[in-house]
């Protein structure tokens, strides 16, 4: 009788251990593909093309485009946006040698070997979190009027996103300006650069003058600079942004004696989903589909 009691007690203690052992693992999540689409990724550093299963590609984009510390719902929103973006590129480039470039030209894509090197001991935890976001949105993409949406995204807005035609050439009904009040959590929400007058003129290819004359020619409806005149020479906002290494075209230039101070707000082109806005929404309890439907007007989430 005593032996039976001891045996029963051991089983009571041992069974939960078995259950926990089954569900808690230090192993990396693996994807198995019975059939899949592959993405042809042009690798800039090696001048080569990798063919990557689409869900594995989305994993690499999440690792390259969004901080792994972000909330899972923000990562899931990014996964759907990234998948939609690459599907649209695959349609556009079907007759070309590759679908996407692995840099900011399209979407930053980081492969497994690189991530193992940079994440070291955190690799398994980090990659599993990202893979969970991809698995929980497997095959999902954004659709508008029966077509794959061009799901653009960027880092940080100045509090509002942009209409696509005011930044790029095409007007897309789902890429409309919307409020993004959560972006103040971003380290890039505001920034400032200071140049001497010599440095400032040199970077813009202008002759030196002790007096800086700035005239705003045109802006988007939210205040991003489209065209600006600096000492009589006209520039686009994106040209000034590039030459002065600014984070966005939402900027203000002021002279302070022999220095030029540039106040900047936001980070990126401003069209589509703000990543820090998505993070802010996720922190407030919004789900990934709610995040996507906020930033992409009247879209549907479909699954292939």
Residue 283 lies in a domain: yes
- Give me the long-range contacts of 132-137 (CB less than 8 A, separation at least 24): 132/29, 132/72, 133/62, 133/72, 133/75, 133/76, 133/78, 133/79, 134/55, 134/58, 134/59, 134/62, 134/79, 135/29, 135/31, 135/55, 136/72, 136/76, 137/76, 137/79, 137/80, 137/83, 137/288
Q: What is the pLDDT of residues 169-227, one digit of tens each?
A: 899 999 999 999 999 999 999 999 999 999 999 999 999 999 999 999 999 999 999 99
pLDDT band, residue 33 (cuts 50/70/90): low
Comparing 10-19, 115-124, 276-285, the range with the smallest average pLDDT is 10-19
pLDDT exceeds cutoff 50 at 151:
yes
Residue 209 lies in a domain: yes
Does residue 61 sit in the same domain as residue 132?
yes
Residue 15 lies in a domain: no
User: What is the reported pLDDT for 32?
Assistant: 60
Does residue 134 sit in the same domain as residue 234?
no
Q: What is the pLDDT of residues 220-260, one digit of tens each?
A: 999 999 999 999 999 999 999 999 999 999 999 999 999 99
Q: What is the pLDDT of residues 105-131, one digit of tens each?
A: 999 999 999 999 999 999 999 999 999
Mean pLDDT along residues 143-169 = 97
- Domain total in the chain: 2
Does residue 62 sit in the same domain as residue 175?
yes
Q: Which two structure tokens, joined as six digits, stand for 292?
A: 């996507």
| Domain hosting residue 56, numbered range | 38-184+270-303
pLDDT exceeds cutoff 70 at 31:
no
User: What is the reported pLDDT for 169?
Assistant: 86
For the chain, percent of residues with pLDDT exceeding 90: 87
User: What is the reported pLDDT for 28?
Assistant: 76
Residue 146 lies in a domain: yes
Does residue 45 sit in the same domain as residue 180?
yes
The CA distance from 34 to 9, in Å, is 45
Mean pLDDT along residues 70-78 = 98
Residue 32 lies in a domain: no
Does residue 166 sit in the same domain as residue 223?
no
DSSP code of residue 29 = P
pLDDT exceeds cutoff 70 at 98:
yes
User: What is the reported pLDDT for 36?
Assistant: 57
pLDDT exceeds cutoff 90 at 85:
yes
User: What is the reported pLDDT for 7?
Assistant: 44
Does residue 147 sit in the same domain as residue 291?
yes
Mean pLDDT along residues 6-15 = 42
Residue 214 lies in a domain: yes
Does residue 100 sit in the same domain as residue 204?
no
pLDDT exceeds cutoff 70 at 18:
no
pLDDT band, residue 27 (cuts 50/70/90): confident
Does residue 94 sit in the same domain as residue 149?
yes
Q: Which two structure tokens, joined as six digits, stand for 288?
A: 């990934």
Does residue 78 sit in the same domain as residue 194?
no
């Amino acid at each position: 009788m005593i032996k039976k009691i001891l045996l029963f007690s051991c089983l009571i203690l041992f069974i939960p251990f078995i259950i926990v052992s089954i569900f808690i693992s230090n192993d990396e999540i693996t994807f198995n593909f019975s059939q899949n689409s592959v993405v042809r990724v042009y690798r800039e550093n090696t001048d080569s093309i990798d063919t990557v299963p689409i869900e594995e590609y989305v994993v690499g984009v999440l690792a390259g485009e969004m901080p792994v510390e972000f909330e899972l719902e923000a990562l899931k929103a990014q996964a759907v946006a990234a998948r939609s973006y690459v599907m649209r590129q695959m349609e556009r480039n079907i007759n070309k040698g590759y679908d996407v470039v692995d840099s900011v030209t399209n979407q930053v894509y980081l492969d497994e070997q690189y991530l193992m090197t940079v994440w070291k001991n955190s690799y398994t935890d980090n990659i599993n979190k990202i893979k969970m976001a991809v698995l929980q949105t497997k095959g999902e993409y954004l659709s508008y009027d029966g077509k794959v949406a061009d799901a653009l995204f960027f880092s940080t807005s100045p509090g509002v996103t942009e209409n696509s035609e005011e930044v790029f050439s095409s007007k897309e009904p789902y890429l409309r300006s919307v409020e993004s009040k959560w972006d103040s959590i971003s380290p890039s929400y505001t920034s400032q650069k200071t140049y001497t007058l010599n440095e400032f003129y040199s970077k813009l290819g202008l002759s030196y003058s002790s007096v800086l004359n700035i005239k705003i020619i045109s802006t988007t409806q939210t205040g991003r600079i489209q065209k600006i005149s600096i000492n009589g020479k006209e520039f686009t906002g994106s040209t000034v942004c590039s030459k002065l290494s600014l984070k966005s075209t939402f900027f203000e230039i002021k002279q302070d004696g022999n220095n030029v101070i540039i106040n900047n707000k936001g980070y990126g082109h401003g069209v589509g989903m703000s990543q820090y806005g998505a993070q802010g929404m996720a922190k407030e309890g919004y789900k990934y589909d709610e995040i996507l439907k906020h930033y992409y007007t009247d879209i549907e989430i479909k699954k292939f």
